[in-house]
């Protein structure tokens, strides 16, 4: 989908985003051990999936650029499908966690919803980006509800808005300039970094 010369930039952004996403997952895991709650657990699982998917895709993008081959290209395409599936699953988990926190949904009710994450079709990149944007919009809306009660940080809300905007830019790359995809990756990375900075400070994420 992207020109060959975009691979180094996309690889670097994916690997950086992977490192930050995994750090967010680790920070959420540590926070969950200190203060039991459903939201940190959902954040940890969600960003673990994102981090692993980005690590795989970024590594294969770098390998394909350094050593182009038909086999490498096929493997990269497969990894892209896998990452898109993990992306949908991770944002679905995140949405379930924050909707549950905003509207006091019992955690047990989330299990049937989460099992459906892997059933989402992986065939269309645009569909996945659109679905990711919708799920993130749900997270942002729920965060705004929590913010109205005075129990949610504006920094975390800003982080989720940046991640949402990143996927909107990626979706826009289908009809606009291709650099929108790289721009979306940068904006998403900024959202990850902002969320990580907040978690490292040991603050509440919900």
- Asked whether the predicted pLDDT for residue 172 surpasses 70, the reply is yes
Q: What's the mean pLDDT when you consider all of the chain?
A: 77
Can you tell me the distance from the alpha carbon of 109 to that of 114, in angstroms, rounded to the nearest whole number? Answer: 9
Taking residues 116-144, report their average pLDDT. 72
Q: Predicted confidence band at 165 (pLDDT cuts at 50, 70, 90)?
A: very high
Give the pLDDT confidence score for residue 124 in this predicted structure: 59
Assign residue 202 a region: left if phi > 0, alpha if psi is -120 to 50, beta otherwise? Answer: left
Cα Rg for the chain, rounded, in angstroms? 17
How long is the chain?
A: 206
Over residues 50-108, the pLDDT tens digits come to 999 899 888 888 888 888 888 878 887 887 888 888 888 888 888 887 777 776 555 44
Measured at the CA of 110, the angle between CA 115 and CA 100, to 5 degrees, comes to 145
Q: Which residues of 4-31 are buried (b: 16+ CB within 10 A; e: fewer)?
A: eebbebbbebbbbbbbbbbbbbbbbbeb
């Amino acid at each position: 989908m992207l020109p060959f010369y975009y691979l180094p930039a996309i690889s670097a952004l994916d690997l950086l985003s992977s490192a930050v996403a995994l750090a967010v997952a680790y920070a959420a895991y540590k926070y969950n051990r200190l203060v039991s709650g459903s939201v940190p657990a959902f954040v940890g699982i969600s960003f673990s999936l994102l981090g692993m998917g980005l690590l795989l895709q970024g590594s294969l993008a770098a390998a394909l650029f350094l050593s182009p081959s038909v086999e490498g290209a096929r493997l990269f395409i497969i990894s892209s499908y896998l990452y898109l599936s993990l992306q949908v699953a991770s944002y679905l988990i995140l949405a379930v966690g924050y909707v549950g926190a905003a509207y006091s949904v019992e955690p047990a009710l989330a299990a049937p919803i989460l099992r459906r994450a892997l059933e989402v079709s992986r065939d269309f990149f645009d569909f996945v980006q659109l679905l990711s944007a919708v799920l993130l919009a749900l997270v942002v809306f729920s965060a705004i509800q929590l913010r109205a009660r005075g129990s949610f940080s504006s920094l975390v809300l800003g982080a989720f808005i940046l991640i949402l905007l990143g996927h909107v830019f990626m979706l826009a790359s289908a009809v606009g300039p291709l650099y929108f995809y790289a721009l979306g990756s940068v904006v998403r990375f900024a959202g990850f970094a902002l969320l990580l900075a907040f978690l490292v400070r040991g603050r509440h994420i919900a």
